[in-house]
Amino acid sequence: MKRPSLKKLRTLIGGKGLYIGAAACIIAAGGAGAAAYNRAVKEIDHGLSYTAPKISDSSGVGIFADEKKDNVPKEILKPETSEESSRPDSEGDKKAAETVPVAHPNVMPVNGEIIEPFSFGELVRSETLGVWKTHDGVDIKADKNTPVKAMNRGEVTKIWDDPLWGSCATIDHGNGLVGYYYNLSHSLTVEEGDTVEAGQVIGMVGDTAQIEVSLPSHLHFGLKRNGKWIDPVGFIDPFFTK
């Protein structure tokens, strides 16, 4: 087989050179496009894997945890206040003040010498009966017809005549406290169901208690807390016993 002459080879290469050059350009362009595509994919992956810094609950709304609070405007960290809530004479303050319970001081029903103290469950000898028994109240010396006052605010729950304790009244003073007022006169100034205030007169000292008739004129005053007898004098503020 004869080899092509140099002239024919040149002609052959020259005719196909255009196709080869075009093919080379296409391959180059394709390579550049592939590189650009790969870079774009990498950037997208990087963007998807990026995690925004967390917001710290203690640093204020919209403040990143890695930012310093010193750079935060004071308006952001300052708690919101309304103009009405800052007024001392607002309707809300007035309503709150009305719902606050008013404390009333305890007072002794009568002022006088304690001639028979509370026995704290111990047996003591009764001068009238001549027997040993507990004394579940205090006997406060006072002249007959001396006004008897309510120890504190409360409701008159019962008024009755007892064969031993005479004319009696009980007042529910709230919080589990019930006052027992014995040896009253028959002329009481209150009725069952009445609401009385601290120091309000409920009746007069009498001589109706046959169980203590040997003692000088006095008021027998007992006090129960949650159903148990307690010392009335120890419960009442000493300032108000004078």
Residue 191 lies in a domain: yes
Question: Domain ends where: 38, 67, 99?
Answer: 99
CB within 8 Å of 216: residues ≥ 6 apart: 115, 141
What is d(CA 198, CA 185) in angstroms, rounded to the nearest whole number?
A: 20
Question: Domain ends where: 50, 65, 84?
Answer: 50
Asked if the model's pLDDT at residue 95 lies above 80, the reply is no
Range of the domain at 26: 1-50
Burial of 181 (0-12, 13-18, 19+ CB in 10 A): buried
Residue 108 lies in a domain: no
Instruction: For residues 129 and 152, state if they share a domain.
Output: yes
Owner of token pair 């405007």: 73
Number of domains making up the chain: 3
What is d(CA 169, CA 56) in angstroms, rounded to the nearest whole number?
A: 66
Instruction: For residues 61 and 46, state if they share a domain.
Output: no
Q: Which long-range contacts (CB under 8 A, 24 or more apart) does 132-137 make?
A: 136/222, 136/229, 137/180, 137/182, 137/220, 137/221, 137/222, 137/223, 137/229, 137/232
What is d(CA 138, CA 114) in angstroms, rounded to the nearest whole number?
A: 7
**What pLDDT score does 105 carry?**
85
Between 50 and 216, the higher pLDDT residue: 216
Residue 106 lies in a domain: no
Residue 196 lies in a domain: yes
**What pLDDT score does 177 carry?**
97
Between 42 and 51, the higher pLDDT residue: 42
Q: What percent of the chain has pLDDT over 90?
A: 53
Q: Band of the pLDDT at 104, cuts 50, 70, 90?
A: confident
Owner of token pair 């002609």: 11
Instruction: For residues 84 and 118, state if they share a domain.
Output: no
**What pLDDT score does 35 carry?**
53
DSSP code of residue 151: S
Nearest partner of 168 among 205, 216, 127, judged by Cα: 205
Q: Band of the pLDDT at 73, cuts 50, 70, 90?
A: very low
**What pLDDT score does 54 carry?**
46
Residue 220 lies in a domain: yes
Instruction: For residues 151 and 122, state if they share a domain.
Output: yes
Instruction: For residues 24 and 67, state if they share a domain.
Output: no
**What pLDDT score does 49 carry?**
47
0.85 exceeded by pTM = no
